[in-house]
Structure 1
Amino acid sequence: MTTWSELPPEILNTIAGKLHFFEDYINFLCVCTSWNKSSTTTTKNMIQHLPSQFPMLMFAESNTTEDFKHRTFFLLSNGGTMRKLPLPEAHRQRCISTHGWLLTIGEQEFYTKLVNPLSHTQIELPELYMFEELYFDRDEWVYYGFCMRKAVFTSSNPLSDPSFRVIIIWGKSIGFCRPGDGSWTRIDGWEGSLFDIVYHRMRKRLYVVATMGTIYECDIVNDVLGPVTLTRLTNFPGKELGCSCVSWAYLLEWGHDSLLMVVRERHYFKKQDDEYGRYGPYRTSRFQCFVYGLDDGKWSKSASLGDNAVFVGFNSSFAIDGGEAVEPNCIYFTDDLYEPYRGLPDGGGGDVGVYHMADGRIESVFDSQESVFRGSPPLWLQPSSLPVIKGMK
């Protein structure tokens, strides 16, 4: 009698043809070793086109040497399940995510590339020497203080779309490039600290939120003769809207004519506090949401996200329709500050959870120590479709 692990390729190929989402593919890989290996031959072309039904949380890298080739993923679908998948491309790499891809930075040469964690497609990008703040800590290869924080795409197709750009925040700098470019192009023209960036697909503009919620914009797709410079779009009227301090903020495309700014507030513990041992130096206490109209230039406070759920952290900020595994009117967040955890021997990053806009309640997404920082933080993977890419690695 044939066992599951002995099914012939033609039957596995039929099974693979019934897959509808990335989550189905992940479950397919986890049945047994032979099914996992079969994905490199009989299923590769099929799974390239599969969309993701829900976001996934990729945990931090394990600190065990025997498990460095794998990452654990938490799936919001299927009632919340964990799966371990091979991802050697991310070993000892600093990672952030956007559009379902990872942007990784190499340990020694500040070597950057895009990696799709499910198809293992890799796209090389220029090195990061254009950033003046870049330096290397030889004792700990982590880049403290001036690290890569955000990345966004101008479109979802890295190879066939001529308008495709990758934009990143590195410390106090912003830059962008296209696959095949020899270097990153700097963007200048803001004041203060950088919080977040978003590319508005309808407006075809890059928007940046910085200190005190000030928003800037620029066009990075059309060819320009001179340096790329941001233009101040609006100052956030925080006091008028009941938000006198913007210590951290995220920016999202919110329909065809608006931006959503999400302000994150944290409570900082003292070392003797009981909560310090569990969460580290701080814990998220509240989020506030504000909408900026791109047509009328008006700000308003939003007490509800409606049927949407927002995801923030070391990923490009995004929103999806709630329902089933994703609760609407909620903010799903991960820890996105490196610096406070330098002195903690066991790592940090426990500030992960779900914030309910209706009543301000915060609940945990999972109960696991897998979320601690050990080189690369936990982050959300945005739903995305894999384009047809030749020469997949």
Structure 2
Amino acid sequence: MALVNWSELPKDLLGSVRRRLHLVDNIHFGAVCHSWYSVAPDKSYPPLPQLPWLMLPAKVGQEGKETRKFFNLLDKKVYQIKLPKEIRHSRCVGSSFGWLTIVDRFCRVLLMNPFSGAIIHLPPTETFPGILGVIRSESSGEIDHYKIRRYGLDRECSRSPGRLRVAFISKAIVTADPLVDNNYMVIAAGFSGLVFCKAGSDSWTQLDRTRTNSMKYCEDIIYFNGSLLVLDAHGSIEAWDVHDLSLRQPTVAAPPLKGFSVDLPRPYGNWFIKKRYLVESSGDLLQILLWFQDRLGSEPNPYISASCSVCRFVPSRKTWIEITSLNDRLLFLGSNCAISLSAEDFPECKKNSIYFAEYFWKGWLEDDPNVADHNLVAFDLEDRRFFKYSSIALQRIRPPLVWLVPSYM
């Protein structure tokens, strides 16, 4: 039998194999030989859907390092990856199409692909509405502080980049993969209300600032069917047409959830909605409610238990209905992203479950046997209980955890 020269396999065959591999195996694939490596970056063979990784926050005292740890849910391992220097002392405020939206140490906004190392610099921070100017250090030339206008107070004040960065952007989304579509937009909610910038633009444009005096107004934002959807703390949703933003007027996309529209933080019984998420799943618009049970004034641990509800919007009836099954979908939710994937593609995960990039720490929900000793948990919608998906020891620190779909094109 003649020996096979694996380095001379047809390119189409190699490409077909390569696109079926997960990230770690794909890296090993490219390291076999030169011919295999030449196929790895070829965009003609886009990879199949990837299970998201979890970027872990930098530990206290290590925020200045250029490495971050990532948890791979597929093999339950933690990988340490060296990232561009811009990650130092930065805050991640969004995750879309494998790109992180980063606010760096000088409060500048950029897109970063942590697996390829690619960076896209976005318009200067001083072009944000509400930013009046920037003062630089005479010795280093670096940004020393920003002059800002406090909305609602009608006065000017100064903020260091580190202090401004904490509340500058609560969440940012990218409307398309910058590697695929040059017409992408970045939309952000935060200090300046709703703002956006188009690819290649040199400034940020204000979309809405009418209710930024209450950060609870903007509970979540997502890009759905060509529109920007903005969720408020009562479950109502406004829609902005991102293809004609000159209109600057939103429409009511969905009313509040009936039966769930409580005035936070007033408990619903002794349960209250801790957090709301929006996610698109198989063409449906879902609103996920994370419930906590109040201990009714007992300190220092105010919460007894936690639960989760999922509601689907029915456009024909203009209403929400609670659902008890995600069918074949898996949800991955966090403060800065929401991802829906097919459970059939990832048998390693428990179907009909919601994986949270949130903290559930011991002592906070100590009376709940399902979450008492768990740091990272998922919610089984069928059994209506939490279960642990990782035993990683985490600290109660910021910035938050981040789900990230590997993209290495």
The verdict on how the C-alpha distance between 1:231 and 1:241 changes in structure 2, with shifts beyond 3 A counting, is: closer
Aligned twin of 2:155: none
Residue 170 (structure 1) aligned with residue 190 (structure 2):
yes
Residue 181 (structure 1) aligned with residue 201 (structure 2):
yes
Deviation of 1:365 (Å): 2.4
Counterpart CA distance in 2 for 1:138 and 1:223 is 32
- Residue type of the alignment partner of 1:260: L
Aligned twin of 2:287: 261
CA deviation vs aligned residue, 1:257-312 (integer Å, no higher than 9, x gap): x4111111235688965xx5xxxx86871111111123431221112222211111
Counterpart CA distance in 2 for 1:284 and 1:87 is 38
Aligned twin of 1:346: none
More strand by share: 2
Deviation of 1:211 (Å): 2.2
Aligned twin of 1:212: 234
Deviation of 1:173 (Å): 1.6
Picking from 88, 91, 95, the partner of 1:91 is: 88
CA RMSD of aligned residues (A): 4.1
Counterpart CA distance in 2 for 1:214 and 1:105 is 28
Whether contact under 8 Å (1:114, 1:122) holds in the other structure is: yes
Unpaired segments of 5 or more residues in structure 1? 1-9, 338-349, 388-393
Residue 45 (structure 1) aligned with residue 41 (structure 2):
yes
Aligned pairs (5 A) from 1:224-239? 224=246, 226=247, 228-239=248-259
- Residue type of the alignment partner of 2:280: E
Residue 378 (structure 1) aligned with residue 378 (structure 2):
no
- Residue type of the alignment partner of 2:119: Q
- Residue type of the alignment partner of 1:373: I
Aligned twin of 1:327: 350
TM-score, scaled relative to structure 1: 0.73
CA deviation vs aligned residue, 1:186-231 (integer Å, no higher than 9, x gap): 2227755111111113xx122111121011001012363x5x2322
Counterpart CA distance in 1 for 2:304 and 2:189 is 24
Counterpart CA distance in 1 for 2:395 and 2:67 is 15
Residue 356 (structure 1) aligned with residue 354 (structure 2):
no
Aligned twin of 2:111: 114
The verdict on how the C-alpha distance between 1:154 and 1:364 changes in structure 2, with shifts beyond 3 A counting, is: same
Counterpart CA distance in 2 for 1:220 and 1:66 is 35
Aligned twin of 2:275: 248
- Residue type of the alignment partner of 1:266: F
The verdict on how the C-alpha distance between 1:139 and 1:169 changes in structure 2, with shifts beyond 3 A counting, is: closer
The verdict on how the C-alpha distance between 1:147 and 1:223 changes in structure 2, with shifts beyond 3 A counting, is: closer
Deviation of 1:112 (Å): 0.8
TM-score, scaled relative to structure 2: 0.70
Aligned twin of 1:291: 312
Larger Rg: 2
The verdict on how the C-alpha distance between 1:65 and 1:154 changes in structure 2, with shifts beyond 3 A counting, is: closer
Counterpart CA distance in 1 for 2:164 and 2:182 is 34
Aligned twin of 1:304: 325
Counterpart CA distance in 1 for 2:317 and 2:294 is 37
Whether contact under 8 Å (1:173, 1:187) holds in the other structure is: yes
Residue 316 (structure 1) aligned with residue 337 (structure 2):
yes
Counterpart CA distance in 2 for 1:58 and 1:297 is 37
